[in-house]
Amino acid sequence: MKEQKIYRTRQRLQIMECIALNREKHLTADEIREELKKIGVEIGKSTVYRALEKLIAEGRVRKYIAEEGKSACYQYIDEGGDCVRHFHLKCTRCGRLIHLECDFLKDLERHIFEHHRFTVDNTRTVLYGICGDCGNE
C-alpha cells in the first residue's frame, strides 16, 4: 500500500480556492464549474469530480447529500477549526447546517467503538433530519 503523489495543478488549486471562498455555502460539482466559468476558467467535469474525491479523502472537503435525486454538495472544511471535532446536523427541508458540540455525541463515538468495533469519523459524517424551525410548521 503505497502513497500516491499529488501534484499541485492549476485546476486543483482553482477548485480548492473556489470552495474555500464559498465556505459558507455548499456547491455542487456543476456549480463549482459555473463559479469558475464566471472568472473565465473552464475545467472539465471529470477533473472536478476527481479533484473533489481527493479533497474528501484528505479531509479538506465535506460532501453532503442535499436532496434525493439531486446532485451532491461539497463544502470546505476549515483546517484546525472546530468543525473537525464536532458533529453536523443538516436539515433536509431548509438546508440549514447546524454545528453540534455535545458530549452525548462523544459518548456515541465511544459506544460505537466499544460495542461495534467501528471508529466514527466526524469530518465525514452528517446527520440528516428536520430542524426545529421546520418541524414546527
Residues lying near a second copy in the complex (CB under 8 A) are found at: 65, 67-69, 71-72, 89, 91-92, 98, 100, 102, 104-105, 108, 111-112, 115-121, 124-132, 135
Q: Assess 92 for contact with DNA (CB under 7 A).
A: no
Bridge partner residues of 62 (DSSP): 75
Q: Assess 49 for contact with DNA (CB under 7 A).
A: yes
Bridge partner residues of 64 (DSSP): 73
Q: Assess 70 for contact with DNA (CB under 7 A).
A: yes
Q: Assess 50 for contact with DNA (CB under 7 A).
A: yes
* 91 half-sphere exposure, CB direction, 13 A CA radius: 13
* Residue 96 Cβ vs a second copy, minimum distance, rounded to whole Å: 10
**DSSP 8-state secondary structure symbol assigned to residue 70:** S
**DSSP 8-state secondary structure symbol assigned to residue 5:** P
- With a CB cutoff of 8 Å and minimum separation 6, the contacts of 67 are 92
Footprint of DNA on this chain (CB under 7 A)? 4-12, 28-30, 42-47, 49-51, 53-54, 68-72
